[in-house]
Chain A
Amino acid sequence: MKKFAYWIMVMALLSAFLAGCGATEAPPEATMAPETEPTAAEAEPTAAEAEQPAGEEQTMVIGFTTSQTGSYNVSSLRQVNGLMLWMNEVNDAGGITLSDGTVVKFDYKTYDDESTTERVQELYTRLSTEDNADFLISPYSSGLTAAAALIAEQYGKIMITTGAASDSTYKEGYTLVFQAYTPSSRYLTGAVDLLAHVDPSVKQLAFVYENDKFSTDVVNAANEYAESLGYEVVLFEGYDSETKDFGPFINKILESGAQAVMGGGHFQDGSTFARQVHEKDVDMNYFALLVAPPEPDFADLGDAAVGVIGPSQWEPLAAFTPESAAEAGLEWFGVLGSEFDAAYQAAYDEEPSYHSMGGYVAGQILQKAIMDADSTDPEAVKAAMEAMDMLTAYGRINFDTSPEAHGLQIGHSMVYIQWQKDDAGNLVKQVVWPLEGKTADTLYPKP
Chain B
Amino acid sequence: MLVPSLMDGLLLGFVYGIAAMGLSLIWGVMDVINLAHGPIIALGMFGIYLGFTGLGLNPYLMLILVIGGGLLLGVLIYWVAVHRVINAPHLSTLLATFAVNMIIIGIATAIFTTSPRNVDFNLGGFPVGPITLPWTRILAALASVLVTALLYLFLYQTRPGKAIRAVSDNRAAAELMGIPTSWILALAFGLGTMLAAISGGLISTFFPFTILAGSSYELKSFVICVLGGLGNPLGALIGGLLLGALEGIIPAFMETSWVPVLEFVLFVLILLVRPQGLLGSKT
| Cα–Cα, bound, A1→B120 (Å) | 40
Q: In this assembly, does B87 line the interface, its C-beta being within 8 Å of a C-beta of chain A?
A: no
Q: Which of B110-159 contact A (CB under 8 A)?
A: 113-116, 118, 120, 122, 124-125, 127, 130-134, 136
* A272 CB contacts on chain B under 8 angstroms: 207-208
Smallest beta-carbon distance B42→chain A, Å: 13
Q: From known contacts A1-B226, A4-B230, A244-B207, infer whether A237 and B33 are also in contact, taking CB-CB under 8 Å.
A: no
List the B residue with the shortest CB-CB distance to A237. B255
Smallest beta-carbon distance A426→chain B, Å: 15
Residue pair B256, A248 in contact (C-beta under 8 Å)? yes
Q: Which of B64-72, B187-195, B245-253 contacts A (4 or more CB under 8 A)?
A: B245-253
| Cα–Cα, bound, A239→B136 (Å) | 23
- Number of residues from A at the complex interface, CB < 8 A: 48
Q: In this assembly, does A8 line the interface, its C-beta being within 8 Å of a C-beta of chain B?
A: yes
Residue pair B248, A271 in contact (C-beta under 8 Å)? no
Q: Which of A48-92 contact B (CB under 8 A)?
A: 68-71, 73-74
Smallest beta-carbon distance A369→chain B, Å: 33
Smallest beta-carbon distance A27→chain B, Å: 14
Q: Which of A311-355 contact B (CB under 8 A)?
A: none
Q: What interface size band does chain B fall in?
A: 35 or more
Dominant secondary structure at the A interface: helix
| Cα–Cα, bound, A252→B254 (Å) | 11
Residue pair A69, B275 in contact (C-beta under 8 Å)? no
List the A residue with the shortest CB-CB distance to B95. A14
| Cα–Cα, bound, A374→B7 (Å) | 66
* B109 CB contacts on chain A under 8 angstroms: 69
List the A residue with the shortest CB-CB distance to B133. A280
| Cα–Cα, bound, A268→B98 (Å) | 27
Residue pair A281, B132 in contact (C-beta under 8 Å)? yes
Instruction: State the A residues within 8 Å of B (CB).
Output: 1-5, 7-8, 10-11, 14, 18, 68-71, 73-74, 211, 237-240, 242-245, 247-249, 251-252, 254-255, 267-268, 271-272, 275-276, 278-281, 300-304
| Cα–Cα, bound, A255→B95 (Å) | 48
Residue pair A1, B276 in contact (C-beta under 8 Å)? yes
Residue pair A1, B115 in contact (C-beta under 8 Å)? no
Interface membership of chain B positions 48-81, coded 1 if the CB is closer than 8 angstroms to chain A and 0 otherwise = 0000000000000000000000000000000000
Q: From known contacts A239-B256, A251-B8, infer whether A280 and B1 are also in contact, taking CB-CB under 8 Å.
A: no
- The 8 Å CB contact of A4, one of B9, B115, B136, B225, is B225
Q: In this assembly, does B103 line the interface, its C-beta being within 8 Å of a C-beta of chain A?
A: no
Q: From known contacts A237-B255, A252-B251, A279-B134, infer whether A70 and B225 are also in contact, taking CB-CB under 8 Å.
A: no
- The 8 Å CB contact of B230, one of A1, A255, A301, is A1
Residue pair A251, B4 in contact (C-beta under 8 Å)? yes
Residue pair A74, B115 in contact (C-beta under 8 Å)? yes
List the A residue with the shortest CB-CB distance to B225. A4
Q: Which of B1-26 contact A (CB under 8 A)?
A: 1, 4-5, 8-9, 12
